C-alpha cells in the first residue's frame, strides 16, 4: 500500500500534515492488529455464526475482546475529526489500511464499518447537540450504529419506502415501519445502537418525501429475526420492526436521501476495501500453494513446484495484474474524495469513480477467490483452506450498497450523462495527460472516449439503461489503462495492456448490441 500511495499524484495533497513516519507507524500497527487480533476470528465466526435468542442477537464470543481492542486503538475514529474524538486522518489512509482488516475477518469488520460511516454522516448533518453526543462515542467505540434503508417493498427502489415518521407536539418524532437487511442491526457488543434511518415525513412521492432520523435501540425497536445467509455468517443481518419508536431528525426534513449519501459514499468505499482485502488473501493462498505444491516435470526426477508450469503462472499474473491496478484505482478515488470539498472537478470525478471501485472491487474479490480455488484444485474446494469461505463471503459484495445493475445505471446515466459530461471530461483530461508517453494505454482511453461520444447521442432512455452495464465495464477498462501508466513496464501492466484493446472492443460491442425482448 505504501508504494501504491506514492504512485498516486493526489496523495501529496490529500495527506496534509501526515508525515512518513506516522504513516508507516499506522500501516504497520494496522497490519499487526488485523493479523493478531482480527484474523483469528474469521474461520470460527463462519462456523459458529451469530445467534438469535429470546429476541436478541448474540455474536461469536471472541468478537467482544477484538471489538474492545479496535476501540481502544482508535480504529473506529480513524477518519473522524480530532475535534469530535477521532484521529482526523484522510480517507485515503482508511482506504490503505481498511483492506487489512477486511482481509482478516470481513464479517466482524461489518460492525466497525457501519459505525465509522455513521460517525461521518452525523458529523456532516446532525444538530450540534446530537453530533457532540454521538460522534465522539462512536469514534471511541462506546456505541455502534447502522444504516437502515431497505424494506420488504423497497430495496433498490428507495422511493417506495413506507416507514413513516410522525411529528409530536413536543417537537420530537415517532417512527413506525419495518427495515430489513440491516447488518449488525442488533448485537451484544455494545448496549447503545443508533440506527440512521430513512422514513417518510410528507406526502411528496418518491424520494422527495424522505427524511433522515437517528433512532436508538430501545422502546419501540424490535429485532424480528436474522437471515440465514450463504456467507458472512458472523455478521448478523437483521429485520427490525419500529413501532412508535422515538426518533430525532437529522438535517433538513425532506432531504434524507441526499444527506444519507455522506454515509453511503463511505459504505461503498468500504465495499471496495472488502473486495481488495479478500482478493489479496486469496491470491496469497494461491501463490504460496503454487510454490509448495509439487506436481509434474521429468518423471525421472522429483516433481517440480506447480509454479513452474506456464498455465499456473498465467493464472497468477492474471490475478495479480487485476489486484495491482485495482489498488491504484481505490487509492485514487479515496484521495479525490479527500480533496473534493475544495475542488469541484474532483468532487465530480469522485462521484464518477465510486460506482467503478464499488462494483469492480466486489467482482475482484469473487473472481480472485474462484480463480484461486482452481490453482489449488480439489484442495481449494475443501474447508482445509479459506478460499471456499472467501468465495461465499464475497458474493454479497456485488449486492449490498447497490447491485452491479444499479452501479451501471449510476455510472452511465447520472455520473457520465447526467452532468453533461463534466466528470467524464475530468477523467479524460487527466488520463490523456498521464498516458501521453504510453501510446498503448492512450489508445484504449481514446477508444472509450469515442464510444461514449456515440453513446451520449442515444435518445432512447430504455436503450441507455440496456447499455449501462457495457458502459460501466468499458469505463473500467479505460480507468485501468490510465492507471497502468503508473506501473508502466511491470509484468502486471504489460499483461493487462496486451488484452485491453480486445476487452474494450468486447464491452463496446455488448453495449451497442440491439436490445432483446
- State how beta strands 193-200 and 210-216 pair: antiparallel
Contact yes or no for 481/497 (Cβ under 8 A) = yes
3-state secondary structure of 290: helix
d(CA 42, CA 139): 24
Q: Which helix (H) or strand (E) holds 196?
A: strand 193-200
Give the Cα-Cα-Cα angle 277, 427, 417 (nearest 5 degrees): 100
Length of the chain as a residue count = 517
- CA-to-CA dists, residue 149 to 101, 161, 309, 424, angstroms: 25, 8, 49, 30
Q: Which of 151, 332, 363, 401 is catalytic?
A: 401
Q: 89: closest CA among 310, 335, 355, 416? A: 335
Residue in the structure block whose three cell numbers are 450540534: 128
Whether 35 sits among the annotated catalytic residues: the reply is no
User: Please, what is the angle between helix 461-484 and helix 310-339, to 10°?
Assistant: 100
Residue in the structure block whose three cell numbers are 445502537: 193
The three three-digit cell numbers of residue 450, written as one number: 469515442
Q: Which helix (H) or strand (E) holds 212?
A: strand 210-216
Contact yes or no for 339/346 (Cβ under 8 A) = yes
- CA-to-CA dists, residue 176 to 165, 172, 179, 200, 241, angstroms: 7, 14, 10, 10, 8
Residue in the structure block whose three cell numbers are 452491479: 404
Q: Is 308 exposed, middle or buried, given 0-12, 13-18 or 19+ CB atoms closer than 10 A?
A: middle
Pick left, alpha or beta for residue 46 (phi over 0 → left; psi -120 to 50 → alpha; otherwise beta).
Answer: alpha
Residues annotated as catalytic are 401
Amino acid at each position: 500500500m505504501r508504494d501504491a500511495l506514492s504512485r498516486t499524484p493526489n496523495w501529496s495533497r490529500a495527506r496534509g500534515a501526515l508525515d512518513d513516519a506516522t504513516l508507516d507507524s499506522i500501516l504497520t500497527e494496522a497490519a499487526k492488529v488485523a493479523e493478531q487480533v482480527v484474523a483469528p476470528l474469521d474461520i470460527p465466526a463462519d462456523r459458529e455464526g451469530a445467534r438469535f435468542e429470546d429476541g436478541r442477537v448474540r455474536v461469536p464470543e471472541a468478537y467482544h475482546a477484538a471489538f474492545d481492542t479496535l476501540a481502544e486503538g482508535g480504529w473506529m475514529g480513524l477518519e473522524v475529526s480530532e475535534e469530535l474524538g477521532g484521529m482526523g486522518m484522510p480517507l485515503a489512509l482508511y482506504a490503505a489500511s481498511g483492506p487489512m482488516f477486511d482481509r482478516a475477518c470481513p464479517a466482524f469488520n461489518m460492525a466497525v464499518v457501519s459505525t465509522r460511516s455513521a460517525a461521518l454522516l452525523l458529523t456532516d448533518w446532525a444538530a450540534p447537540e446530537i453530533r457532540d453526543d454521538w460522534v465522539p462515542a462512536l469514534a471511541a467505540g462506546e456505541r455502534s450504529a447502522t444504516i437502515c434503508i431497505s424494506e420488504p417493498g423497497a430495496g433498490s427502489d428507495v422511493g417506495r419506502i413506507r416507514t413513516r415518521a410522525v411529528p409530536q407536539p413536543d417537537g420530537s418524532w415517532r417512527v413506525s415501519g419495518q427495515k430489513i437487511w440491516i447488518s449488525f442491526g442488533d448485537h451484544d457488543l455494545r448496549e447503545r445502537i443508533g440506527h440512521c434511518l430513512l422514513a417518510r415525513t410528507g406526502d411528496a412521492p418518491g424520494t422527495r418525501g424522505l427524511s433522515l432520523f437517528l433512532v436508538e435501540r430501545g422502546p419501540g425497536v424490535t429485532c424480528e429475526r436474522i437471515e440465514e445467509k450463504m456467507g458472512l455468517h458472523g455478521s448478523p443481518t437483521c429485520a427490525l420492526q419500529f413501532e412508535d419508536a422515538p426518533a430525532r431528525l437529522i438535517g433538513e426534513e425532506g432531504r434524507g436521501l441526499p444527506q444519507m449519501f455522506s454515509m453511503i459514499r463511505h459504505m461503498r468505499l468500504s465495499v471496495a476495501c472488502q473486495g481488495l482485502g479478500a482478493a489479496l488473501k486469496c491470491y496469497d493462498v494461491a501463490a504460496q500453494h503454487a510454490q509448495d505444491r509439487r506436481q509434474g516435470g521429468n518423471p525421472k526426477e522429483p516433481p517440480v513446484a506447480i509454479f513452474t508450469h506456464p498455465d499456473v503462472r498465467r493464472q497468477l499474473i492474471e490475478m495479480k495484474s487485476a489486484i495491482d491496478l485495482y489498488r491504484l484505482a481505490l487509492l485514487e478515488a479515496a484521495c479525490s474524495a479527500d480533496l473534493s470539498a475544495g475542488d469541484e472537478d474532483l468532487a465530480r470525478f469522485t462521484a464518477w469513480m465510486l460506482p467503478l471501485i464499488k462494483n469492480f472491487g466486489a467482482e475482484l474479490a469473487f473472481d480472485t477467490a474462484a480463480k484461486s480455488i482452481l490453482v489449488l484444485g480439489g484442495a481449494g474446494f475443501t474447508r482445509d483452506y479459506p478460499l471456499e469461505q472467501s468465495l461465499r463471503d464475497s458474493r454479497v459484495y456485488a449486492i449490498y450498497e447497490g447491485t452491479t445493475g444499479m452501479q451501471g445505471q449510476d455510472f452511465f446515466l447520472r455520473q457520465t450523462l447526467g452532468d453533461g459530461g463534466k466528470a467524464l471530461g475530468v477523467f479524460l483530461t487527466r488520463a490523456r495527460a498521464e498516458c501521453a508517453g504510453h501510446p498503448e494505454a492512450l489508445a484504449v482511453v481514446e477508444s472509450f472516449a469515442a464510444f461514449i461520444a456515440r453513446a451520449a447521442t442515444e435518445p432512447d432512455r430504455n436503450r441507455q439503461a440496456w447499455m449501462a452495464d457495457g458502459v460501466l465495464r468499458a469505463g473500467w477498462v479505460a480507468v485501468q489503462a490510465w492507471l497502468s501508466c503508473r506501473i508502466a513496464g511491470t509484468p502486471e501492466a504489460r499483461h493487462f495492456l496486451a488484452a485491453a484493446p480486445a476487452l474494450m472492443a468486447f464491452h463496446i460491442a455488448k453495449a451497442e448490441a440491439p436490445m432483446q425482448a
